Structure 1
Amino acid sequence: MSSNTERPIIILGAGIIGLTTAIRLLESSLYQDKNIPVHIIADHLPNDPLDPKYASTIAGAHHLSFADDDDERQRRWDKRTFQIMYKEWKDEGESTGLMVMKQTEMFVGHTKHLKIYEEHPDFKVINHTERPDNIDHSVSFTSLTITPITYLNRLLKRISELSGGKLIIHRYHLPSLTYLSHPSIQAMIGPHIPLAVIVCVGIGALNLGDVEDKNVFSTRGQVVKIKAPWIRSGYTRQIGTLDGGENGERTYIIPRSNGEIILGGTRELNDWFPYPRQSTIKDILKRTIEICPDLIPNHLIAPALSNPQDQLPLEDLNKTKIGHTGITKSISPESLEPLIIEHLVGFRPSRKIGTRLERGKDLILDQNDQNEKTIVIHNYGHGGAGWQSCWGTAEDAISLMNEAVVGRSYI
């Protein structure tokens, strides 16, 4: 049997789940005391061109939990992730890609909010006299948003620093877990059978051999990215109940520290269409203007008038615009078009029975040595909750791996 200290640990996937898991592994005593080689194998990397199957760079991304009041596991993951990200922002500011802001949640058709919101700073139930007539319930609290590419690159830098540049990220499509013993893989990670593999492949778990999780499916999300640096607060309108997940119709406005705003969104089950739909674009613009007319700057609503007496009161500019004839008209979604940067489509890695975070069946990659097994840990299927639960699930995944290593006397 090969020396345990030579057997590498493999992380599959380099999205927000894979990278946070890698960091927690590099910070663990298992890595630091035993000097175990660590490799990441991934199809897609953070700085690659956008791909709907790599949801991490297309996500909103804001910290807004969908955890049901009775879902202690999801609530714990989400709360832990918020604590970590909030401290990162507090210590290092917006250079992290994080922006702390006031979040306003508006509900139509019901008067209940998720209890986890009450654990955020500055939580407040908004009085009915302060909310729009068509909103049945509303709360506000302090939350945060993330500029994905900034944060992901920060994680890559931390990985390099923690490993002293030794952790190698390989761009490679792995067809199956058992393929880890293939000569082409051994040429990258060395000849020794992996000590463990942590599966963080998101939607790839649907087709990855030896996993092929048929509970995994795509929830298509389409959003519009605009430039509107004057918006520094987040807004969401929920029609229908969340029911412990990202259910109902959600209209959201997610500002970022770099002045970008994500407008959304959609929730289209088992929809794999990778391009923006024009009808959806118009619908998103219409819905977001309804909940935040301040998205449109005044100079795009009404041109300057030559006669000062004809000027509209400032408060009316958020409600009206002036056509070439001088006739007052309603704001239209087209008013946002000059602000549009791009349209994005991503496939949320959803799973019918929730996130899979558990130890799987050990692999036997060396048929000549049935005792040299490879530990398998699964950490995928986060759906639309990847960014808000990533650190919590990463810590649980590494805890499971440590227990497995110690329990079976692998080290």
Structure 2
Amino acid sequence: MGAICNSATDNYASAGIIGLNVALVLAERGLGSRVMVIAEHLPGDTSIKYTSPWAGCNFSAISGSDANALRWDRLGYAQLTRLESLEGEKSYIKRTPSTEFWDEDVPHDKIRAMSEYLEDFRILPSGELPKGVKFAVSFTTVTLNAPKYLEYLHRRLRDQHGVHFVRQRLSDIYAAFSDNNTRIVFNCSGNEAKTLGGVEDEKCYPTRGQVVLARAPGMRRNVMRHGKDYVTYIIPRPGSNGNVILGGYLQKGNGDGSTYSYETESILDRTKKLALELSENEPEILAVVAGLRPSREGGTRIQREHVIVHGLERSLVHNYGAGGTGFQAGYGMAIDAVQSVDDILSTLKSDKLRLKL
């Protein structure tokens, strides 16, 4: 969430991957010292309400096939691979060999678009497909250590770009305009968009996932299998001494933050069948966690809204509802959100206003 102001104002949003990407795009425009991220939770925290640290996470074909999703993915892949090339291990991003399998409902439009830019893209011949699989591709993905990547972005934004971070929760979206000089607020409130006063978007819902964090140093590749009513994935976690994320579940409308042993057993069974590295060398279970992806009927909402606060016309930019695609598509979403207020941002070079997110 963000605002343009000349003094500190209040916002409400977790500093998740969506908000941090908006801050990054603004900072890359030279506005870092005018950006403030105000959030109930900051990188390094854990809470069922703070989704981003629980992510797998990787770049995959799990996102949509509409024009926006295709463009956001392309921008995200370019940004993540560029960052990995420039920053190396300290970014907690790593180029990783990847294979994705589909049992049915192959998203050919999506795959065709991805083939145009993914490194080492290849369609696997039918003779290489496991039983029950209709289609598969291999390519070089990027895997991320989600909690460490968030902390890396936090440090980079704060130390290199002068972005300010404040821990605070607001009662409603309009409280972000408490300073009369605040002109723009970026609403990156994730799951809270359903209940946050002034937003209250009934299209929002959580999509629950349960994952197993395990130590399996022999697992150095990313593998995903998309089934009719399940998704199974193995994602190596960079900079973690051989840890992997094993998943998973996509439970629409389920806001339960508990974990269940039968789901853990299902995950272990499915992932061992997917990779010999796990079946031949028993992974050491380190933790089992659940996360709630911030989803929305109709997909991500990126929209500029004109609001009247204290008798003044201001801009509220919504950017939420990314579901499980925030890490791979969030940078592209942020570009669109920021571009929606280009007319205001263009004036910042010539005045003394401060931008706050």
- Normalised to the residue count of structure 2, the TM-score between the two structures is 0.88
Cα deviation, residue 51, structure 1: 1.6
Question: What is the aligned partner in structure 1 of residue 79 from structure 2?
Answer: 84
Counterparts of 2:182 and 2:335 in 1: how far apart (Å)? 21
SS in 1 for 2:340: helix
Match of 2:120 among 109, 118, 122: 122
Once the two structures are superposed, residues 369-403 of structure 1 have per-residue CA deviations (whole angstroms, 9 ceiling, x without a partner) of: x2x33210011110011111111111111111223
Match of 1:231 among 219, 241, 245: 219
Separation of aligned partners in 1, 2:308 and 2:61: 35
Following superposition, the deviation at residue 160 of structure 1 comes to 1.4
Q: 1:396 aligns with which of 321, 330, 336?
A: 336
Q: Decide whether aligned partners of structure 1 residues 131 and 65 sit closer, same or farther in structure 2, where only a CA change above 3 A counts.
A: closer
Structure 2: which 5+ runs fail to align?
352-357
Task: State which of 263, 284, 289 in structure 2 corresponds to 1:280.
Answer: 263
Query: 2:230: which partner in 1?
Result: 249
Q: Partner of 1:314 in structure 2?
A: none
SS of 1:20's partner is helix
Hey, what's the Cα distance between the residues in 2 that align with 1:377 and 1:227? 41
Q: Which residue of 2 aligns with 1:64?
A: 60
Aligned residue for 1:378, secondary structure, equals strand
- Give, in whole Å, the separation in 2 of the partners of 1:345 and 1:123: 32
Aligned length: 340
Q: Determine if the alignment matches structure 1 residue 159 to structure 2 residue 154.
A: no
Deviation at 1:52, TM superposition (A): 2.1
Runs (5+) with no aligned partner, structure 1? 183-190, 241-247, 299-334
2-structure distance, mates of 1:209, 1:195: 19
For residue 383 of structure 1, give the secondary structure of its aligned residue in structure 2.
Answer: coil
CA contact (8 A) 1:6 1:192 kept: no
Deviation at 1:213, TM superposition (A): 0.7
1:361-400 correspondence runs (5 A):
361-364=306-309, 366=310, 370=311, 372-400=312-340
| Corresponding residue number in structure 2 for 1:53 | 49
* 1:26 aligned residue: 27
CA distance in 1, matches of 2:9, 2:75: 25
User: Alignment partner of 2:324: what SS?
Assistant: helix
Quote the sequence identity (%): 31
TM-score (norm 1): 0.77
Q: Which of these residues, 202, 205, 218, is aligned with residue 214 of structure 1?
A: 202
Q: 1:10 to 1:195 in 2, by over 3 A?
A: farther
Instruction: Find 1:174's aligned residue among 157, 170, 174.
Output: 170
> 8 Å contact 1:26–1:162 — kept in the other structure?
no
SS at match of 1:28: helix
Q: Could you give the per-residue CA deviations for residues 190-228 of structure 1, whole angstroms, max 9, x where no partner exists?
A: x54412110011111111100011110010010111011
* Alpha-carbon distance in 1 for matches of 2:168, 2:50: 14
Q: How far off its partner does 1:103 sit?
A: 0.9
2:259 corresponds to which letter in structure 1? P
| 1-structure distance, mates of 2:129, 2:5 | 61
Per the TM alignment, residue 22 of structure 1 is displaced from its structure 2 partner at its CA by: 1.0
Q: CA deviation at 1:17?
A: 0.8
Select the structure with the greater relative contact order (CA < 8 A; seq sep ≥ 6).
2
Instruction: Give the superposition deviation at 1:173.
Output: 1.4
One of 253, 260, 268 as aligned partner of 2:251: 268
CA contact (8 A) 1:355 1:382 kept: yes
217-226 or 145-154, larger mean C-alpha shift: 145-154
Question: Using a 3 Å threshold, how does the CA distance of structure 1 residues 267 and 6 change in structure 2: closer, same or farther?
Answer: same
Distance 2:346 2:194 in 1: 30
Amino acid at match of 1:72: A
8 Å CA contact 1:7, 1:195 repeated in 2:
no
Deviation, 1:404, is: 4.7
- The letter for the 2-side match of 1:256 is R
Q: Residues 234, 285 of structure 1: CA spacing in aligned structure 2 closer, same or farther, 3 A cutoff?
A: same
Aligned to 1:101: 96
Question: Counterparts of 1:345 and 1:292 in 2: how far apart (Å)?
Answer: 23
The 3 A distance-change label for structure 1 pair 230 and 177 is same
Paired residue for 1:186? none
Answering whether residue 281 of structure 2 is matched by residue 293 of structure 1, we say no
Instruction: Quote the Cα distance in structure 1 between the aligned partners of 2:180 and 2:107.
Output: 54
Q: Mark the CA change 1:253 to 1:174 in structure 2 (over 3 Å): closer, same or farther.
A: same
Paired letter, 2:172: S
What CA distance in whole angstroms lies between the structure 2 residues aligned with 1:212 and 1:112? 32
Counterparts of 1:98 and 1:86, CA distance in 2: 8
Q: Which shifted more, 5-14 or 193-202? A: 5-14
CA RMSD of superposed structures (Å): 2.3
Q: SS where residue 280 of structure 1 aligns?
A: helix
8 Å CA contact 2:188–2:320 kept in 1: the answer is yes
What do the CA deviations read for 1:232-254 (whole angstroms, capped 9, x no partner)? Answer: 111111113xxxxxxx4111111
Is contact 2:100-2:136 (8 Å) kept? yes
1:303 maps to none
Distance (whole Å) between structure 2 residues aligned to residue 273 and residue 157 of structure 1: 31
Distance 1:354 1:152, change over 3 A: same
Q: 1:361 to 1:5 in 2, by over 3 A?
A: closer
